């Protein structure tokens, strides 16, 4: 299913998970537009969506506009519903990877940019280096994930992350992420551009670029989509 894969690839960060809400940082709701471009084997695909997130409810609604119009609603428990309005159908599933607390910007909204949630996942900081105005830290993975990720490199500049790299068990980089275009909103700083390189075992790679725009927070974030509920008579599909 197109939308299910899109949610995992574009809107979730499976290796990151937080444990407390963002309301204490003054952000109760946020909405923004998201345009994502994928490049793989010379082919470019583009996805346009709108994001509506309420921290008090832990509810994340993604309104996909292009290339298809569908809605995805998930909560902090990982319960997800993918709704096709034209067909009046809904697909439901549950997995921690779908949790609204795994959203790509969740750790920024929490003000937890120092380690991107790695410490809570059991990663251990092993060293720190200073290079000009960059702070480079290395994190060793816990044994539970070491077969997949052995260590993570984080690079900070002006107290915000600008780069992260993930290494596999053989010591090869399998994922790079660049955070750029920071802007201040209320009590938080958000990167408006996130570029990710995922390196596949066959030597190919997937390049994804996410661009945020029209960011509105709290009182400025007004939309009926925050109250949207999937119709109870929608036909459930497998």
Sign of CA dihedral 103, 106, 112, 113: positive
The predicted-structure confidence for 178-208, as pLDDT tens digits, reads as follows 999 999 987 788 999 999 999 998 888 999 9
Cα radius of gyration (the chain):
18
pLDDT of res. 55: 83
Segment 119-144 shows an average pLDDT of: 93
The larger pLDDT score, comparing residue 116 to residue 199, is at 199
Cα separation, 121 vs 144, in Å, equals 10
Residues written for the chain? 238
How far are the Cα atoms of 58, 237, 238 from residue 88, in angstroms, in the given order? 25, 10, 14
Q: What is the CATH number of the domain that holds 232?
A: 2.50.20
Cα separation, 168 vs 170, in Å, equals 5
Beta bridge partners of 211: 35, 193
pTM summary value: 0.82
Residue in this structure with the two tokens 């380690």, named with its chain if needed = 115
Residue in this structure with the two tokens 């120092």, named with its chain if needed = 114
Total tally of structural domains belonging to the chain: 1
The predicted-structure confidence for 35-66, as pLDDT tens digits, reads as follows 999 998 889 999 999 999 988 888 899 999 99
Segment 90-117 shows an average pLDDT of: 77
CB atoms within 10 A of CB 99: 23
The set of long-range contacts for 49-54, using a CB threshold of 8 Å and a minimum separation of 24, is 49/10, 49/11, 50/225, 51/11, 52/221, 52/223, 52/225, 52/226, 53/29, 53/100, 53/103, 54/28, 54/29, 54/226
Are the C-beta atoms of residues 123 and 139 closer than 8 Å to each other?
yes
- Domain range spanning residue 190? 2-237
Helix (H, G, I), strand (E, B) or coil at 191: strand
Quickly state the pLDDT bin for 100 (edges 50, 70, 90). low
């Amino acid at each position: 299913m197109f939308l299910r894969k899109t949610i995992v690839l574009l809107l979730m960060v499976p290796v990151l998970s937080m444990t407390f809400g963002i309301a204490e940082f003054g952000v109760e709701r946020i909405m923004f537009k998201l345009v994502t471009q994928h490049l793989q084997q010379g082919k470019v695909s583009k996805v346009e969506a709108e994001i509506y997130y309420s921290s008090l409810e832990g509810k994340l609604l993604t309104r996909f506009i292009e290339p298809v119009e569908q809605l995805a609603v998930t909560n902090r428990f990982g319960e997800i519903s993918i709704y096709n309005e034209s067909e009046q159908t809904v697909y439901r599933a549950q997995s921690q990877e779908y949790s609204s607390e795994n959203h790509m910007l969740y750790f920024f909204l929490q003000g937890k940019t120092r380690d991107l949630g790695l410490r809570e996942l059991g990663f251990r900081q092993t060293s720190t280096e200073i290079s000009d105005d960059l702070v480079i830290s290395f994190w060793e993975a816990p044994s539970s994930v070491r077969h997949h990720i052995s260590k993570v490199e984080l690079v900070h500049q002006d107290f915000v992350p600008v780069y992260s790299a993930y290494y596999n068990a053989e010591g090869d980089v399998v994922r790079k992420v660049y955070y750029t275009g920071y802007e201040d909103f209320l009590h938080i700083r958000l990167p408006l551009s996130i570029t990710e390189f995922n390196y596949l075992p066959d030597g190919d790679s997937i390049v994804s670029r996410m661009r945020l725009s029209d960011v509105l927070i709290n009182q400025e974030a007004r939309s009926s989509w925050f109250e949207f509920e999937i119709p109870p008579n929608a036909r459930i599909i497998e």
